[in-house]
Structure 1
């Protein structure tokens, strides 16, 4: 178990045995940023998805262009309200930030986070609530800037 930060280890983000060094470097950055979130809310964070092989990505129905394939994204859970989660983009740099919430909009099912890059720094302003495949409801935080 390779520690990335005080509270995160590489095996939380990467399940393959010998990931390329750039994958490790990306998750070192992500783990460092998530430490800020953890510290701000004083709540643990559980990583639910990190780096995905193309096979794993296809199995979970991920986009062929998913940043998980490049080691630039993760999904995580933290025990805060959706309203509290709206603060996160002001705490850390955001490339993608999608807040998936329960049907009653009171609980977070998970948060998708991706590192910023020149191609994905975007924040959409329209405060829409989205339904994904008729099953999951989430806020695209790009709508709340």
Structure 2
């Protein structure tokens, strides 16, 4: 039984804050109350993504990250994960990360950044971030082992 508070109909606080790395390194990855609104907004946007992807379940591979966790996983110091405004997702029942990224980039969903991450690896994922207003709809690709972010989907 899932007793974690829901941030939206299909996404719980537990899955938004889950991290195997945090568990392994004993890092408390609890969401501060001051970021609850951001987390709820992000999960509300994930509901829209879920609908666009045929109502297939989304897997959040990374959501909220404390600064300590973000540093350990090599995240950018300015990462939207650290403000509860971004998630990394996969949706195997819909398709590959590249297919997901193409579908979301072509949709009318309001996102700030959409990054196709590590598209040549089987574990590829899509990073997507949301702001409340002033979303840039920036689409990028980042390859594993490369620090460069390339414009568009490569």
TM-score by length of 2: 0.71
User: Which runs of 5 or more residues in structure 2 are unaligned?
Assistant: 19-27
2:14 pairs with 1:11 = yes
Change (3 A) 1:101 1:63: closer
- Scaled by the length of structure 1, the TM-score of the pair is 0.75
Deviations 1:4-51 (A, max 9, x none): 222110111125575333421111111111112212222100111111
The answer on 1:88 being equivalent to 2:104 is yes
Counterpart among 89, 100, 112 of residue 117 in structure 2: 100
- Over the aligned positions, Cα root-mean-square deviation in angstroms equals 3.1
Shift of 1:132: 3.6
Q: Which moved more, 1:21-30 or 1:66-75?
A: 21-30
1:131 pairs with one of 118, 143, 146: 143
* Counterpart secondary structure, 2:59: strand
Q: Is the 8 A contact 1:37 1:91 kept in 2?
A: no
Number of aligned pairs?
Answer: 136
List alignment gaps of at least 5 residues for structure 1: none
